[in-house]
Structure 1
Amino acid sequence: MHLLVLLYVDDMIITGDNEVEISMLKNELSVRFEMKNLGEVGCFLSLEVEKSDQGYFISQKRYAEELLQHFGMGGSKEKATPMEPHLKLMKNEGQELKDAGKFRQLVGSLIYLTTTRPEIAYSVGVISQFMQNPRTSHLDAAKRILRYFKGTTNYDLLYKKESSFLLKGYTDPDWAGNANDRRSTSGYYFSVGSAAISWCSKKQPTVALSSTEAEYMAATMATQECVWLKHLMGDISGAVDYAVQIQCDNESAVRLAANPVFHARTKHIEVRHHYIREKVLDREIELKGISTLDQVADIFTKALGKAKF
């Protein structure tokens, strides 16, 4: 893994990529600021970092175990997935909870766990929609996520030592998947080399009238994230001078993004969602087709069965 230090001194960005330069930077900072060397990072804000020959492992094992004990789920039965497949939670289904505060505390804790556990992003996103008036069915769904953690507390994110650090992404929606308002859920995932660096599961702001429109809206959201990541990587390690590939499993959406004329039946799509066309034509991104079976972002848009999960 290429070691890079990024420091801000007097509004200037200074980078160092070897031990000599890093030592010089530390000396420069120690003159201006009071500093203490705490050694290599091991745990920071419940994020546990472990260095190995393969690379770096990042997890929240201890935090997940504490959650299980805090909410009385330490002896519960394990589950293979964080959410029951095809589950549709309704706003008014089940009895109202007497202690809504406990539910909100649980959901808030699970949201923090998505920092290192991208596979629960969809499940946590679903239950977080019921924070205002939670019911027993919503609490059961939240507890299932804890039962999933019961057997997977040792899962980590692995950042391997790689020679190639190309930025690549995946995007996918679940068309009209929300049973309450029929809005779709967008999901995207970006990686650099072996490393997962950005992911998201979010309900779309408007109702999509077709699966193509839902895919197109999801791809636009992924494109916005991609442009931001390109700027960030440019500030840290140099300009990203290639078209970033974003994988999409809907051919109509791919053609719509590449061909400005192909819009006879999509004129109703909001102008802001055509942002992706400009980026494709400028060759900042490349929207490519992919098989649904190889779609990584599928896990951010729906509750999958055990085998596919």
Structure 2
Amino acid sequence: MKCKKDHCLYLKRWEVKGVKHILIVCVDVDDLTLAGSHPSSINDLKAKLSAKFTMRDLGELYYLIKMEIKRDLERNTLNLSQQKYINDLLDKFQMRDCTPVPTPQAKRVILRKEKTLTQEQIAARRLIKEGLVRGTRPDIANAVRELSKYHSCYSKTHYRVAQRVLKYLKGTSKYGIHYNGNSTFKLEPYSDASFANAYKERKSVTGYVSLLAGACIT
């Protein structure tokens, strides 16, 4: 059954002699990620798919969509990170030797719209577009949100702000999301808002986070 909220996700649930089963298939172009409650169910699905399509079984999932995936079956934990992708970005934008900073955003930096397009603006756009590592780094979500408002009106200031985000990522490249399967499986949503902090418009910014298994999912 296709998930109504995410059309790249397919789920099947059933019960046999009181035992609940679940199969999950995540589709990304021509890559399929299979997960399930029982290995036998996963193997059966792989056999059926292989009978209809030419497929290659890559085994245990370690890397997907620029995310590094580490499972500890003994401790029942799952870690998602993007250290390799961050290092690739540092190399691409020639910032491998930059000095890390403690925060993704600096105080008292006001971003304004610019009317002309310069090389710095083009570089800033590329950095923000390619540097969206928010999949495992919710700590830079607000910085990326602020920069993304100026996709067609960047300046040197925007580029320096974007570089700061990358400097922060360099110093925290090993950070990621840690899910604990032993914790209470309960959805915990939180939200907050600033007060009229937007330059000129004085609009407020609302933020939210949803936690599951001890870590962020949205």
TM range (shorter): 0.7 to 0.9
Task: Look up the SS of the partner of 1:56 in the other structure.
Answer: strand
> Is 2:159 the partner of 1:159?
no
Task: Look up the SS of the partner of 2:80 in the other structure.
Answer: strand
1:202-246 per-position Cα deviation (integer Å, ceiling 9, x unaligned)? xxxxxxxxxxxxxxxxxxxxxxxxxxxxxxxxxxxxxxxxxxxxx
Supply the distance in 1 between the matched residues of 2:118 and 2:160 (Cα, whole angstroms).
11
Instruction: Quote the residue 2:126 is aligned against.
Output: 105
Matches within 5 A, 1:261-272: none
In the TM superposition, what is the alpha-carbon distance from 1:164 to its structure 2 partner? 2.4
Q: Which structure has the highest strand share of the two?
A: 2
Supply the distance in 2 between the matched residues of 1:5 and 1:144 (Cα, whole angstroms).
42
Equivalent residue for 1:187, pick from 179, 193, 207: 207
> Is 2:109 the partner of 1:87?
yes
Supply the distance in 1 between the matched residues of 2:36 and 2:124 (Cα, whole angstroms).
46
Task: Look up the SS of the partner of 1:157 in the other structure.
Answer: strand
Residue type of the partner of 1:68? L
Equivalent residue for 2:39, pick from 2, 7, 19: 19
Supply the distance in 1 between the matched residues of 2:174 and 2:126 (Cα, whole angstroms).
23
In the TM superposition, what is the alpha-carbon distance from 1:16 to its structure 2 partner? 4.7
Q: Which structure has the highest helix share of the two?
A: 1
Supply the distance in 1 between the matched residues of 2:130 and 2:53 (Cα, whole angstroms).
34
Matches within 5 A, 1:10-159: 16-52=36-72, 53-54=74-75, 55-91=77-113, 97-111=118-132, 113-159=133-179
Q: Is the 8 A contact 1:78 1:148 kept in 2?
A: yes
In the TM superposition, what is the alpha-carbon distance from 1:109 to its structure 2 partner? 1.5
1:39-94 per-position Cα deviation (integer Å, ceiling 9, x unaligned)? 0111122111112244121111111011112112111111000001343323359x
Equivalent residue for 1:169, pick from 185, 189, 206: 189
Q: Is the 8 A contact 1:88 1:178 kept in 2?
A: no
Matches within 5 A, 1:250-289: none
Gaps of 5+ in 1: 9-14, 199-309
Task: Look up the SS of the partner of 2:59 in the other structure.
Answer: coil
Residue type of the partner of 2:86? A
1:140-196 per-position Cα deviation (integer Å, ceiling 9, x unaligned)? 111111111121111121122225211110011112111032222111100112131
Residue type of the partner of 1:169? P
Gaps of 5+ in 2: 1-20, 27-34
- Structure 1 vs Structure 2 CA RMSD: 2.4
1:240-267 per-position Cα deviation (integer Å, ceiling 9, x unaligned)? xxxxxxxxxxxxxxxxxxxxxxxxxxxx
Supply the distance in 2 between the matched residues of 1:168 and 1:157 (Cα, whole angstroms).
15
Residue type of the partner of 2:184? S
Task: Look up the SS of the partner of 2:131 in the other structure.
Answer: helix
Supply the distance in 1 between the matched residues of 2:36 and 2:84 (Cα, whole angstroms).
33
1:258-288 per-position Cα deviation (integer Å, ceiling 9, x unaligned)? xxxxxxxxxxxxxxxxxxxxxxxxxxxxxxx
4+ residue runs over 4 A deviation? none
In the TM superposition, what is the alpha-carbon distance from 1:119 to its structure 2 partner? 0.2
Number of residue equivalences:
188
> Is 2:24 the partner of 1:6?
yes
* TM-score, structure 2 as length reference: 0.77
Residue type of the partner of 1:40? E
Q: Is the 8 A contact 1:165 1:192 kept in 2?
A: yes
Supply the distance in 2 between the matched residues of 1:40 and 1:91 (Cα, whole angstroms).
47
Supply the distance in 1 between the matched residues of 2:111 and 2:99 (Cα, whole angstroms).
22
